[in-house]
Structure 1
């Protein structure tokens, strides 16, 4: 299952910091500003560039209760830009487990042009298919395709855990075939 979102862009975080795919040691809390406070700011999920997600305390607790490994929660203060008021309790979800699990034969491609697919495979994917032996027993990971690290994928167990906790607001779950 692939997770995506329809949230807000986050400002104030650099591409260098966000592009990291390893555990990060941050000495201070990140701060994100929203202006004005849209309804989405009060939802469970924000989005951020380069693949980080800001998740609510409810999502963090649900993932911890499920014993999900391969993730790191970095504290984030979400502030209203004009008033400085803090909005909820959030963490940046840093998915550090990266898996090469793409089923190259069963994945649907945008083009049959092998040069495009070989040079920038993530940009040429229409529908992802995964290899069962690569994802068996893995609850959450980022997909590595050659030199690119992309989207976050979760197991049905993690999806059910989030549903039981009432922590799916803002998430979009997209079924992905596994062979």
Structure 2
């Protein structure tokens, strides 16, 4: 998948970094590939290519997003994409359903522009806990969340899958270096 290195992409990347869907083992091979392919890679990509500390990576990407020339960003949509990233983290089995609901509620509470308020996520969490973490309740809630956030999830998923391939590349390079 060929990714455009524009500010819209950077917003998605920022969300993926902020919710820890990806980290340096995902983005460093991506950055290295861009640096190798382009005669004049973007400076923020060069900076990102050597960073391992997640908050610094987020800062680099966000500095690019909010740099000149300024572009109009849809903050509501970006907030909903964050929930989509959390959902992908759940479907990748990196977090539990209860953790997904709690993190989504926490984010919705701090952000105030997610299409569902924090109470929605917390109520789902309470129902899930009260069901003694019943898998049928989880599946029903999962379908409900997907129906509400499908556009955001479906937009982030191919980018995430691309980064997963970079992660595999990183792991292979590490194995080769250790042999």
Q: TM-score, normalised by structure 1?
A: 0.24
Compare the two structures and name the one with the higher strand fraction.
1
Q: TM-score, normalised by structure 2?
A: 0.24
